[in-house]
């Protein structure tokens, strides 16, 4: 923790927007609107791709369940499970070949494919030995291990929704939810809050050599109690990026706390990040 700087010292006057009578008019900042849209856009493409892959896999499995044909294939190779070491984890795999009767008169009548097998089935397979398969007669190149199709039949009563997709939806949904919570919190304070002079007492780096820090400040509320607050996500005073320094100065040029008069523990350092007062 470093000592507080001299930024913001001198005569304090409440910023003019905070001298207006409540309720004040508040809108979301352009920065916050842009960040929310950025999260939505960046997360949309992988969610669509992953969702399409999951739904496509589910559809293919349903086809194999309903109209698939059993066939015996030959094990070509066996690959043990892979975990860690910078590679994508997956279970044990079996390479196999089979000859569907629909391709009997075609030059490429032999189909080669590979699938992840259960550990128990993997231990029973031998290179050159048989393996039970199910394939789609309308698209003979689509096949799956017979044990996998049987397992899917047993579990289909539990619901067809691809719950794995929820995991990929949770992260961006959580980020957007936090951003909206921050906005509504700041909106309430700017709309109804009371302004008070803030004193910066310390600045803490996120990392020992990082550019980002959080400001720790105190202020006195209407009852005379000293209240402590924090503002995170500010650039360091020696940051070479002008826009980041300008953003930092917007908080420290005239340090002002805005607090809920009913509970001063709910407070923020003006002007805030997500919400702003309409000029």
| Section 216-242 average pLDDT | 92
**Residue partners of 234: CB distance under 8 A and separation at least 6:** 212, 213, 214, 215, 247, 248, 251
| Section 11-24 average pLDDT | 91
Q: So what's the pLDDT on residue 161?
A: 52
**Residue partners of 70: CB distance under 8 A and separation at least 6:** 132, 133, 134, 146
**Residue partners of 42: CB distance under 8 A and separation at least 6:** 172
DSSP letter assigned to residue 17: G
Structure token digits, residue 272: 């805030």
Q: So what's the pLDDT on residue 9?
A: 46
Q: So what's the pLDDT on residue 104?
A: 85
Q: So what's the pLDDT on residue 105?
A: 83
**Residue partners of 73: CB distance under 8 A and separation at least 6:** 96, 97, 98, 130, 131, 132, 133, 143
| Section 20-39 average pLDDT | 93
pLDDT band at residue 156, thresholds of 50, 70 and 90? low
Q: So what's the pLDDT on residue 87?
A: 53
Residue 94 has pLDDT above 90, yes or no: yes
Residue pair 212/205 in contact (Cβ under 8 Å)? The answer is: yes
Please name which of 264, 59, 3, 40 lies closest in space to residue 173, comparing C-alpha atoms: 40
Cα 215 from Cα 154, distance rounded (Å): 57
Q: For the whole model, what pTM was predicted?
A: 0.63
Q: So what's the pLDDT on residue 57?
A: 74
| Section 52-76 average pLDDT | 83
Residue 200 has pLDDT above 80, yes or no: yes
Reduce the DSSP state of residue 130 to 3 states and report it.
strand
Q: So what's the pLDDT on residue 113?
A: 92
11 or 275: which leads in pLDDT: 275
pLDDT band at residue 216, thresholds of 50, 70 and 90? very high
Residue 53 has pLDDT above 80, yes or no: no
- At 165-193, the pLDDT tens digits run 676 678 888 999 999 999 999 999 999 99
| Section 211-222 average pLDDT | 92
| Section 254-279 average pLDDT | 94
Residue 162 has pLDDT above 70, yes or no: no
Q: So what's the pLDDT on residue 229?
A: 95
174 φ, ψ to 5°? Answer: -65, -40
Lowest mean pLDDT among 38-42, 59-63, 84-88, 265-269: 84-88
**159 φ/ψ sector (left φ>0, alpha ψ -120 to 50, else beta):** left
Q: So what's the pLDDT on residue 163?
A: 60
Lowest mean pLDDT among 153-157, 181-185, 241-245: 153-157
Q: What percent of the chain is modeled with pLDDT above 90? A: 54
Q: So what's the pLDDT on residue 158?
A: 46
| Section 105-123 average pLDDT | 89
């Amino acid at each position: 923790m470093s000592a507080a700087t001299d930024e913001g010292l001198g005569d304090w006057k409440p910023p003019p927007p905070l001298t207006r009578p409540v309720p004040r008019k508040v809108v979301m900042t352009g920065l916050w609107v842009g960040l929310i849209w950025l999260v939505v856009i960046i997360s949309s493409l992988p969610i669509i791709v992953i969702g399409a892959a999951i739904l496509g896999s589910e559809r293919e499995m349903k086809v194999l369940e309903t109209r698939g044909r059993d066939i015996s294939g030959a094990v070509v190779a066996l690959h043990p499970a892979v975990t860690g070491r910078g590679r994508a984890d997956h279970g044990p795999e079996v390479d196999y070949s089979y000859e569907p009767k629909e391709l009997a008169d075609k030059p490429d009548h032999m189909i080669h494919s590979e699938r992840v097998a259960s550990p128990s089935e993997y231990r029973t397979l031998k290179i050159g030995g048989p393996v039970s398969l199910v394939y789609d007669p309308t698209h003979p190149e689509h096949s799956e291990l017979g044990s996998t199709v049987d397992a899917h039949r047993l579990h289909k009563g539990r619901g067809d929704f691809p719950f794995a997709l929820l995991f990929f939806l949770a992260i961006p949904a959580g980020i957007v939810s936090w951003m909206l919570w921050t906005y509504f919190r700041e909106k309430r304070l700017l709309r109804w809050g009371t302004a008070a002079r803030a004193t910066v007492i310390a600045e803490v780096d996120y990392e020992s050599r990082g550019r980002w820090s959080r400001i720790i400040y105190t202020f006195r509320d209407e009852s005379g109690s000293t209240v402590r607050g924090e503002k995170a996500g500010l650039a360091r005073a020696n940051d070479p990026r002008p826009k980041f320094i300008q953003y930092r100065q917007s908080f420290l040029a005239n340090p002002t706390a805005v607090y809920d008069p009913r509970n001063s523990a709910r407070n923020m350092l003006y002007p805030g990040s997500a919400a702003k007062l309409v000029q």
